[in-house]
Amino acid sequence: MDVELRGITKRFGSVVANDGVNLTIRGGEVLGLLGENGAGKSTMMNILSGLYSPDEGEILIDGKPVVFQGPGDGIEAGIGMVHQHFMLVPVFTVAENVVLGVEPTGRLGYLDLKRARAQVDEINQLYGLHVPADTLIEDLPVGIQQRVEILKVLFRQADVLILDEPTAVLTPQEVEEFFGIVRSLKEAGKAIVFITHKLHEILEVSDRVSVMRQGRIVGEGDPKTLTEADLAEMMVGRPVSFTVDKTVAEPGRPMLEVSDLVVLRDNDEIAVDHLNMVVKSGEVVGIAGVQGNGQSALVEAITGLARAASGKIVFDGKDITHFSVRQRHSEGMAHIPEDRHKSGMVSSFTIAENMVLNSYYEKPYSKGMAIDWPTVHKTAAKYCVDFDVRTPSVFLPAGNLSGGNQQKMVVARELERQTKLVIASQPTRGLDVGSIEYIHSRLIEARDEGDGVLIVSSELDEIMGLSDRILVMFDGRIVAEFDNTGGKADRNAIGLAMAGATEGAAA
């Protein structure tokens, strides 16, 4: 089945998300769709799946124009979307999730789960998905959950599969398996749209690539003849450097020592399991690992947001295990949280207010019980200049800023003080290449000034690029350690360790 998008334009208020986009999708082919966050990829795919209707332009399926009224119409026409955030009911089994909405039924609406199971197994066999039909979704690893999403789409007889950032949650090995599935789908004649911002993945798996920037298709080509640099330049609109410029680290005294740390989740399960680690001054330590292996709990325990069930946290020689967040902060700990909306900023506060969220009670921002607003505004304006936060005014609500500028605001607030230790969790998630480069250079700068820097990220590229030493976290523990001086750590071995292989190769 071939699908053609012609002159698709979609506006949200004054923002043009898609601007006259033309795109062809062919059966038996993988189309790589590349673009930064906010380039308009998701909008276009939502139009294709029927969730949005375009303001201008038309969709043709096998040459015939179609009009979609709602999300059901896309799937009816054979276009299935695998969302970046899984649409699965955690307490249902695989089979229940797959058949939901198109259930095989007997008399009186009786739900024929036996038939559902058989149907699921049939698709399993056909494409080599190996998904257990009777397991609850919540008991499955993320990689398998993703296959359930693919199963769901195949069960509805989709001929076009849109995969939105499918590799974001996978380990390198899972990505390989995933590509295997993509190839077998292709061989079965399905058309696949593979959306990502990871260049090497596009080159590896797609037959054709289209690059989007600011709502337009800015380049198309054959991945066999294109290089990563070409693609990056198309995507960003200027040449991009992939490596973080940095000198060899000169580690000094231990800045953070974590010993035998145990942190529990809300449901009393063990999130961090007798973990030991050290971060020295003047070095960047990266924690690699698939999301959900206790990284968040570790960061929360170090920064004081979560209680340590047992173990010890020592910060520059001082036992801070039972310190409050504010005490840790005044000792010189900076925290760039993983989710800025949840714990990094207050969207409805102004940029100036956000800039002093961590220090409003100190001099010079407070005089007695009153906040000295002129000083706050002056300082915030200076921070904005220093950290390249692009805004017409510090009096605007922080929520009005783009994601990249919001994150730079948070980074500015955390780093524009005397710090000794920087904890950065997913510091560049969802940001554009320019902001990523900037934040990376700032983190290296903090290192060069003698701070200890701890980076937690699920993007292995980011860990590899920034860290001097790499720790791999799996199931609440550090399972492997790699020296990354000069970026020489073995990517494959890290990947294996992330997947929990315990024999992990030496570095």
Burial readout 40-70 (b: 16 or more C-beta within 10 A, e: otherwise): bbbbbbbbbbbbbebeebebebeeeebebee
- Whether residue 381 contacts residue 389, with contact meaning beta carbons closer than 8 Å, is answered with no
| Among 92, 179, 323, 365, contact with another protein (rule: CB under 8 A) | 92
Question: In sequence order, what E strands does 53-101 have?
Answer: 56-61, 64-66, 79-82
| Among 11, 26, 83, 198, contact with another protein (rule: CB under 8 A) | 83
- Whether residue 70 contacts residue 15, with contact meaning beta carbons closer than 8 Å, is answered with no
The first and second tokens of residue 159, run together, are 């001929």
| Among 111, 346, 385, 396, contact with another protein (rule: CB under 8 A) | 111
Q: Residue 328, SS3?
A: helix
Choose the binding region for another protein from 246-254, 389-397, 422-430, 496-504 (rule: CB under 8 A): 496-504
- Whether residue 108 contacts residue 63, with contact meaning beta carbons closer than 8 Å, is answered with no
- 309 contacts another protein (rule: CB under 8 A): yes
Where do we find the tokens 């925290």? 335
Instruction: List residues bridging with 482 in a β-sheet.
Output: 470
Kindly state the smallest distance separating residue 272's Cβ from another protein, in Å.
12
- The footprint of another protein on residues 272-291 (CB under 8 A) is 273
- 269 contacts another protein (rule: CB under 8 A): yes
The mark string for 140-179 relative to another protein (x by CB under 8 A, - otherwise) is ------------x---------------------------
| Among 181, 371, 381, 507, contact with another protein (rule: CB under 8 A) | 507
Q: For helices 228-236 and 433-448, what crossing angle results, to 10°?
A: 110
Q: For helices 172-187 and 491-498, what crossing angle results, to 10°?
A: 90
The mark string for 237-266 relative to another protein (x by CB under 8 A, - otherwise) is ---------------------------x--
Distance CA 320, CA 342 (A): 24
The mark string for 18-57 relative to another protein (x by CB under 8 A, - otherwise) is ---------------------------------x------
- 100 contacts another protein (rule: CB under 8 A): yes
The mark string for 431-470 relative to another protein (x by CB under 8 A, - otherwise) is ----------------------------------------
| Among 257, 365, 481, 487, contact with another protein (rule: CB under 8 A) | 481
Nearer to another protein, 226 or 472 (CB): 472
- 482 contacts another protein (rule: CB under 8 A): yes
- 88 contacts another protein (rule: CB under 8 A): yes
- 487 contacts another protein (rule: CB under 8 A): no
| Among 69, 225, 267, 418, contact with another protein (rule: CB under 8 A) | 267
Contacts of 310 (CB under 8 A, 6+ apart): 260, 261, 262
Kindly state the smallest distance separating residue 394's Cβ from another protein, in Å.
32
Nearer to another protein, 114 or 318 (CB): 114
**CA angle at residue 14 from 10 to 18, to 5 degrees?**
25
- Site size toward another protein, by CB under 8 A: 47
Kindly state the smallest distance separating residue 364's Cβ from another protein, in Å.
42
Kindly state the smallest distance separating residue 495's Cβ from another protein, in Å.
14
Where do we find the tokens 């970026």? 487
Helix/strand/coil (H/E/C) assignment for every residue in 439-502:
HHHHHHHHHHCCCEEEEECCCHHHHHHHCCEEEEEECCEEEEEEECHHHCCCHHHHHHHHCCCC
Distance CA 60, CA 411 (A): 46
- 125 contacts another protein (rule: CB under 8 A): no
Distance CA 32, CA 407 (A): 28
Nearer to another protein, 29 or 481 (CB): 481
- 15 contacts another protein (rule: CB under 8 A): no
- 268 contacts another protein (rule: CB under 8 A): yes
Nearer to another protein, 321 or 391 (CB): 321
Q: What is the DSSP letter of 264?
A: E
Distance CA 123, CA 102 (A): 15
Largest CA distance in the chain: 75
- 504 contacts another protein (rule: CB under 8 A): yes
Choose the binding region for another protein from 212-220, 245-253, 409-417, 495-503 (rule: CB under 8 A): 495-503
Contacting residues toward another protein, per CB under 8 A: 51, 71-72, 75, 81, 83, 87-92, 96-97, 99-103, 105, 108-111, 152, 264, 267-270, 273, 309, 474-475, 477-483, 500, 502-504, 506-507
